[in-house]
Amino acid sequence: MNPPLITGGQTAEVRELPPPRRDRVKAHKWLTERCLEEHLDREREGFELYISKIAEEKMRNHALQHLNERKEVMGLLLGGFYQHEGREYALVRDVATTDLDATDVSVRFDPDAFEKLFASLEEIGFKYVIVGWYHSHPSYHCFMSSTDVQTQRGMFNLRCHSAIVIDPVNKEIEAFFLDEGKVRSRPFGIYWDEYQNPYYGTSVRMRQTAVPPKAPDVPQ
């Protein structure tokens, strides 16, 4: 079984690819006023982080599913690092998670559930690296706690790595990264593009099977 591809150390493979088109990128609806301002400032020159609609929905739904029990959730961001015309950026194309050991103020992967996580990573149908992680803060807003910063330093210490924090109670989301050891907020865009959707073919098939059965013929 292959271990997950965490890009630690000082380098990350950066491939050439144009970023998602501007007309296919929008602001997340849970951005705070400050983050929305940063988003709009950044929009013209392009983002360092783009999150696919699919990945965004999975993270948000994961956080919302555990909202009533006020439990934190977490998972890994799967995608890649790219460059185009002198700009570098990361794409999050999907997310992965497993059973969690969580309270209202802490979360980690259940140590007995790593095999399940590795198995689900093996089923990912596209080439990826882990470009960061996400977790939730049910009701206490988006920031990086000292434990979160430790995790970031230990596992995602490159500038291009991101940490996404979601507060499903206050409906807030923010991305962070380490800039020479200091935590900074990172504006990001949500993109949708069927040609970059790794599950394009699958979703078409699913839509076809979802057609309701025909009503019985009524005699004329």
Judged by the rule CB under 5 A, the positions of this chain that interact with Zn ion are 145, 148
Give whichever of 87 and 141 is closer to Zn ion, judged by the CB atom: 141
* Nearer to Zn ion among residue 24 and residue 171 (C-beta): 171
Nearer to Zn ion, 107 or 121 (CB): 107
Least distance in angstroms from the C-beta of 72 to Zn ion: 7
Cα(198)–Cα(178) distance, integer angstroms: 28
| Smallest separation, CB 137 to Zn ion (Å) | 5
Least Å distance between CB 198 and Zn ion?
28
Supply the minimum distance, in Å, between the C-beta of residue 121 and Zn ion: 23
Closer to Zn ion by CB, 152 or 197: give it.
152
Provide, rounded to whole angstroms, the least separation between the CB of residue 108 and Zn ion: 11
For Zn ion, the nearest residue by Cβ is 148
- Residue 162 vs 197, nearer CB to Zn ion: 162
